[in-house]
Structure 1
């Protein structure tokens, strides 16, 4: 019995000291900080730089990182895999010299000594874009155009003079990464208004303000409660598959289950709408059916808008000329900001359609109408079906509903 007790004690002592001396370093780590990173080249770019380097040869090297303080005084960190030979520094909003510390880090999170390098970023995108910004009078507001050759992710931000506060106040933003474009900021009274526009990137860098003073063109919103389908020969039903044409003007468009929907029949498809009031239309918005159907399925890609003041003035329907007697108001092509293939979308596409896609009528040739005819010619999904999430119209109302 004493012999067995002695043996158990010896085994316990061996296990105790063995566990006490066992290494707890992460798998593959030697517990020693890696060697320093060697910088081979610095290429300065707008708003940042690309730092090319040679990593140390430590077998347990995991990644290389850069630490620096940006122009806003914020400490930033950028990491790159050990198999990559460069670090991308971006988001610096002012030209100047910036010190960047480059470190090697191993699997045990042991960090090498710093290799300091100076970068001198070129003029950032927010500064480059500002001189290209122009503003012109528009329906109910101002149209802002811009050039963004670097395709930077930025926002165009509008401020408007507030007489009560006696200063410019922020109103709204438009996000883009397009190389060029224009966006209409609307919803403003038809009186002389001072607008301020500035550019901001995703790191919070802002340009100076540029100012425009315009008197927005009258732009009244047509009451959708007055809208109704006016069925004429050759029209296509948008009441299929449990959907209803009235869902295209019910004020809801953020669900793929709220739309007008046709059967699967050959295009073109026609829809006639009684606006319930007479107006010189200035513009309209088409909101796509959203959700998983965005920019595919039966969402209109190429369509035309026609108008007439008196439906009784139309000639007898002719299937070979279904739009006879109607005035062509707009030949429309839907735009996809991302340019991605069918079935693929990004946040910019969703935001663009959530705000509605704007189509303007010719300001020099505005036509007084009461009835609208939509002819859908081609769809984003290249399918023989039409779906529309929502329709909105604006203009100068010339006669209220009788």
Structure 2
């Protein structure tokens, strides 16, 4: 036992000594000799950027290549490329002027070569083309902003309105990389208003301002307390909406106006096992005649690998919405107006089933607003017809709806 105590006593200062050693971070090697510079540099000018191709020096100690240049905003930018490639993209240019770029080869000791200076002359930044395509039109309770973004660049469209002595201030924003952009912005009064819009990229390059004067159309949320199911009437094509594990239920449709947009079983869905009845549809009563303007539909999100996932299973991909003031009891469509044919599209454009970006999730979680044609009379009943869903079948899953219009 004494021998053991002696050994432990000796071990303590050793452990303390080892614990006091500092870990010093730095280059893995020490080489003060600058590497040779890159050679044979070629420049490919592109929209808002340029791709540089070069020949690396024959130096095994080279770690990476970097380019240093100044943007039109005055900010200095530095981009790097590893020694495993011979190309480097210099981006962030907001003009088409000639810019000087310094290229350095850097070794593992962070020692840089002498710079190779090249001139780049980027093509027009994508934000300029987006700006030229912008259209701002009056919509119900707001405006619609549309544009095209053929290069699918990450851009921000910033709408502004006058706010007293502050001048024009931002009141919303569209942040997207979608090729086709169409966004409704609500919450505006029904009086003429001048909207100012600019387009910006992630480097804070900004276009000139586009001004448009519009007068939003009146609409209001139609109270969900008036919504009703159509049961016991079930027309051809209509499927009894199910919920939870209780089997088919005539009250399943009413979960679409209980205020819950995510949690199961607050979800109306038609039976997935019915595959031979053609497009599934569900019908409900808005409870009052109104000039219907649009409907917001919240698709039910499945939980996949712990993440809420839209554009999936029974979420409608291609569908129609019909409206009627006095439906024919036999369920035929001759007493109905088609209010629109719609296609759900991921903002990201990703084709892979079940794969989403955060933008896809954020927009889906907020609900999709589908506008109705306005050249129809006041209507009261709505029929949602699923042509096909994201799974490729015809059942539908809706967790919540909100109808808008003018009942006056």
Show CA shifts across 1:348-386 (max 9, x none): 3223323432322222x1331222121222111124532
Name 2:11's counterpart in structure 1: none
Show CA shifts across 1:114-138 (max 9, x none): 2222322232222232222222222
Q: Secondary structure at the match of 2:335?
A: coil
Show CA shifts across 1:319-366 (max 9, x none): xx5x45333322222223333232222233223323432322222x13
Change (3 A) 1:327 1:103: same
**Within-5 A mapping of 1:263-278:** 263-264=271-272, 265-266=274-275, 267-278=278-289
Q: Secondary structure at the match of 1:385?
A: coil
**Within-5 A mapping of 1:316-331:** 316-317=330-331, 321=332, 323=333, 325-331=335-341
Q: CA deviation at 1:258?
A: 5.0
- For 1:355 and 1:191, locate their aligned partners in 2 and report how far apart those are by CA, in whole Å: 27
**Within-5 A mapping of 1:320-359:** 321=332, 323=333, 325-339=335-349, 340-359=351-370
Show CA shifts across 1:256-303 (max 9, x none): 775323332225222222212221101122222235431111101122
Checking the alignment, whether the CA contact within 8 Å between 1:196 and 1:210 is kept in structure 2 is yes
Checking the alignment, whether the CA contact within 8 Å between 2:295 and 2:371 is kept in structure 1 is yes
Q: RMSD of the alignment, in Å?
A: 2.6
**Within-5 A mapping of 1:173-184:** 173-184=173-184
Q: Secondary structure at the match of 2:330?
A: coil
> Which of 280, 303, 310 is the matching residue for 1:294?
310
Superposition TM-score, scaled by structure 1 size: 0.82
- For 1:192 and 1:160, locate their aligned partners in 2 and report how far apart those are by CA, in whole Å: 11
Name 1:362's counterpart in structure 2: 373
Q: Secondary structure at the match of 1:79?
A: strand
Of residues 87-96 and 302-311 in structure 1, the stretch that sits farther from structure 2 once superposed is: 302-311
Name 2:196's counterpart in structure 1: 196
Name 2:295's counterpart in structure 1: 284
Name 1:96's counterpart in structure 2: 97
Checking the alignment, whether the CA contact within 8 Å between 1:144 and 1:183 is kept in structure 2 is yes
- For 1:392 and 1:47, locate their aligned partners in 2 and report how far apart those are by CA, in whole Å: 42
Name 1:12's counterpart in structure 2: none
- For 1:108 and 1:121, locate their aligned partners in 2 and report how far apart those are by CA, in whole Å: 33
Checking the alignment, whether the CA contact within 8 Å between 2:269 and 2:397 is kept in structure 1 is yes
Are 2:243 and 1:240 aligned? yes
- For 2:265 and 2:110, locate their aligned partners in 1 and report how far apart those are by CA, in whole Å: 50
- For 1:180 and 1:383, locate their aligned partners in 2 and report how far apart those are by CA, in whole Å: 26
Where in structure 1 are there 5+ consecutive unaligned residues? Answer: 1-23
- For 1:240 and 1:295, locate their aligned partners in 2 and report how far apart those are by CA, in whole Å: 20
- For 2:105 and 2:74, locate their aligned partners in 1 and report how far apart those are by CA, in whole Å: 24
Name 2:153's counterpart in structure 1: 152
Of residues 262-271 and 64-73 in structure 1, the stretch that sits farther from structure 2 once superposed is: 262-271
Where in structure 2 are there 5+ consecutive unaligned residues? Answer: 1-25, 247-251, 302-306
> Which of 305, 308, 315 is the matching residue for 2:329?
315
Checking the alignment, whether the CA contact within 8 Å between 1:277 and 1:370 is kept in structure 2 is yes
Checking the alignment, whether the CA contact within 8 Å between 2:309 and 2:361 is kept in structure 1 is no
